[in-house]
Amino acid sequence: MSVTLKIRTQPIGSPVIHGNPYSVFVVKEGYAYTDKDGNMKADGSITLVKGQQVILVDTGNPWDKGVILQNLETHGLEPKDISFVVCTHGHSDHVGNLNLFPEATFIVSYDICKRDVYLSHDFREGLPFKIDDYVEVFATPGHCGSDVSVLVRGTEEGTVVVAGDLFEREGDDGSWQLLSENPELQAKHRDKVQDVADVIIPGHGAPFRVIKEYEPVL
C-alpha cells in the first residue's frame, strides 16, 4: 500500500511562537488589499527572531520605524543589539529601515555584508547560510530573482520559516502567481518550504501552521 501526502493549513492565532533557544515574534503583520478607490495598499511583515542571536527579518516601509523601535524596547532591546538583519527581497516594504541597524550583519536577498565588507556565499548553488545550529537563511527565488527565507528550528511549534513573499498569506493560491516574476520557480520553492515547515510566516498575512497528513492509496 502506498500513501499520498495531503497538506492543509491553519492559523496559529498568535503573533508569538515561544521556544528554546529561539522564540519568534511577529512585530508587524503584513497586509495587502485593494481600497475603495481601487488602489493597492500593502506593507510587509516584520519579524523578530530572539535567542542566541537577535535577528530581524524584513524591516517594513520607512514609516514603520516607530513600530520597530517600540517593539524592540518592549523586548529590552536597542537597534545595536540586532545581530543580523535579513531582508527576504528588495521591495520597498521589506527594506525600509535598514539604516536603523548600522552594527548588524545584513543579508539582503543574496548579498551578505558587515558595513562595506561583503562576505562570499553562493546562494545560487543552493547553499544555506547558517547563522548557527538553529537558524539558517536559504534561497527561495521566484517572487523575485533572489529571494531568501529564514528557517528557525526547535520552537514550541516546531520548525518556523519566515518566508517573505514566497507566500503572500495563508490560502493565497490563485493570487500569488500574479505578483511573481517566475511562477514555476516560486511554486517549486513553495513546495520545498511546505515540506520542511511546521509554521510559515508570510509576507502579507498572519502566521499559519502547515499540517501534513498521509493518506493510504488503495
From CA 128, how far away is CA 137, in angstroms rounded? 6
Please answer whether residues 137 and 149 qualify as being in contact, where contact means their C-beta atoms are separated by less than 8 angstroms.
Answer: yes
Q: Which three cell numbers stand for residue 165?
A: 513573499
Backbone angles phi, psi at 195, to 5 degrees: -65, -35
198 is in which domain, residue-wise?
2-217
CATH of the domain at 200: 3.60.15.10
Q: Among candidates 20, 74, 16, which has minimal Cα distance to 52?
A: 20
Q: Are the beta carbons of 150 and 5 closer than 8 angstroms? A: no
Per-residue pLDDT of the chain (218 residues; tens, 9 = 90+): 576 778 999 999 999 999 999 999 999 999 999 888 889 899 999 999 999 999 999 999 999 999 999 999 999 999 999 999 999 999 999 999 999 999 999 999 999 999 999 999 999 998 999 999 999 999 999 999 999 999 999 899 999 999 999 999 999 999 999 999 999 999 999 999 999 999 999 999 999 999 988 777 66
**What's the Cα-to-Cα distance from 198 to each of 11, 55, 102, 160, rounded to whole Å?**
11, 20, 33, 6
Total domains present in the chain: 1
